[in-house]
Amino acid sequence: MAKPIGIFDSGVGGLTVAAAIKELLPEESFIYFGDTRHAPYGDKSRDTIQKYSTEITRFLLEQDCKAIVIACNTASALAYEKLKEKFSDVPMINVVDPVVDYVAENTHGKIGIIGTRATIKSGIYKKKLLEINNKLKVVSKATPLLVGIAEEDFTHTEISRHAIKQYLDNKDFKNVASLILGCTHFPLFQTEIESFYQGKAEIVDSPELVADRLSHILSDHGLHNKDQEKEASYDFYVSEKTGAFSSIARNFFGADIRLKEKVLS
């Protein structure tokens, strides 16, 4: 039960999920893998994303992780089913389902979804939302540039403000009731997107919903860490060190984080 949770993403985006997990479950340790060498995932094929996701999951399980969080929408959309089948004996959660369940229940009005090209092309959010309620009105758009802006640590700049306006200032997106940030990089733009909508749309914060789902899954499997004596530990791996990853990870988790480089393929 004191074993760590394995969390992965193509880069810095999943740190938003890791931070929410730390906040909600401070007694849980985790190992984070950011596949910076292969980012962005959003423009890659299903086969490639499945291959990278499988290698990372295998690595995290070798580090004795007790559960896996796919902190990437693209991998959740294209690799979750495959990973679940391959690693069927370990609890695993994706970032799409908790958001779909929340939004389908709580939104009255048009739902907007932004994400990577691969996530939007997969249609996963729309499909799952309409499965729950086929009367929902859903619009979606790929906003891949936001991933690069986040990876460069260019949030809260003129560049990010212009990109957000360029993507969202149109008829479809102007009057949404909820906007799903269908990419774990996008909570890094949360306040900027909120100002774009001037508080008129709910910006759905997926990291908190995912942390909450993880907590339930750990309870269901009797996996919560009960050893309160030992402090939780956080380890970070990247497939290629980048300045932006170190700086964003340090912003979230403090200056003395343990960050190692690990090439898997």
Among 42, 98, 112, 207, binds ligand DGL (CB under 6 A): 42
The token pair at 8 is 């992965």
Can 65 be counted among the known catalytic residues?
A: no
Comparison of 72 and 201: residue with beta carbon closer to ligand DGL = 72
- Chain positions 130 to 149 lying near ligand DGL, rule: CB under 6 A, are 147
Can 72 be counted among the known catalytic residues?
A: yes
Q: Confirm or reject binding of residue 9 to ligand DGL (CB under 6 A).
A: yes
Comparison of 10 and 57: residue with beta carbon closer to ligand DGL = 10
Which among 57, 55, 123, 64 has a CA at the least distance from the CA of 93? 57
Among 36, 53, 73, 242, binds ligand DGL (CB under 6 A): 73
Residue 136 C-beta: closest distance to ligand DGL, Å = 22
The token pair at 35 is 């596949």
Interface map 183-202 toward ligand DGL (x if CB under 6 A): xxx-----------------
DSSP letter string, 117-142: HHHHHHTHHHHHHHHH-TT--EEEEE
Among 36, 53, 116, 160, binds ligand DGL (CB under 6 A): 116
Q: Confirm or reject binding of residue 10 to ligand DGL (CB under 6 A).
A: yes
Buried-state track 36-62, b at ≥16 Cβ within 10 A, e below 16: bbbbbbbebeeeebbbbbbbbbebbee
Pairwise CA distance, residues 102 & 3, whole Å: 29
DSSP letter string, 53-118: HHHHHHHHHHTT-SEEEE--HHHHHHHHHHHHHHTTTS-EEESSHHHHHHHHHH--S-EEEEE-HH
Catalytically annotated residue among 56, 65, 72, 176: 72
Catalytically annotated residue among 25, 39, 99, 183: 183
Comparison of 2 and 54: residue with beta carbon closer to ligand DGL = 54
Q: Confirm or reject binding of residue 107 to ligand DGL (CB under 6 A).
A: no
Q: Confirm or reject binding of residue 72 to ligand DGL (CB under 6 A).
A: yes
The token pair at 46 is 């299903």
Treating both helix axes as pointing N-terminal to C-terminal, what angle do 206-220 and 97-106 enclose, rounded to 10 degrees?
Answer: 110
Among all residues, which ones are annotated catalytic? Answer: 72, 183
Q: Which residues bind ligand DGL (CB under 6 A)?
A: 9-11, 13, 39-42, 72-74, 116, 119, 147, 183-185
